[in-house]
Amino acid sequence: MSGERRVILWSLWIGVGLIVLAVLARTLDLIPVTVIVGLLGLLALGFAGYGALDEAAERGSLRRRAAKVQREREQGN
């Protein structure tokens, strides 16, 4: 597993954990804690989403380049 993918997974699980903690804090009427932890959770989930989209775009670019090379090889033969 690549280092970038590992960071994405870590931030995803941290974000989910913080959102769960924010819900728990809300049930206990700890509103300031809910707001702070909720914002940090959303930030972590946003970071994970951005990383996943960036990785998907990079894989798509690699696939397009490989297809282009394959087409050029087929035309050359």
Q: How many domains does the chain have?
A: 1
| CA quadruple 17, 19, 23, 26: dihedral sign | positive
Report residue 1 as tokens.
Answer: 């597993």
Which residue type is seen at 25?
A
**Domain encompassing residue 51:** 3-76
E-strand stretches of the chain: none
How far is Cα 7 from Cα 31, in angstroms, rounded to an integer?
30
Residue by residue, pLDDT tens for the chain (77 residues) are: 678 888 899 999 999 999 999 999 999 999 999 999 999 999 999 999 999 999 999 999 999 999 999 988 888 76
| Alpha-carbon gap, residue 52 to 49, rounded angstroms | 5
| Residue 68 DSSP symbol | H
Q: Note the pTM of the prediction, 2 decimals.
A: 0.78
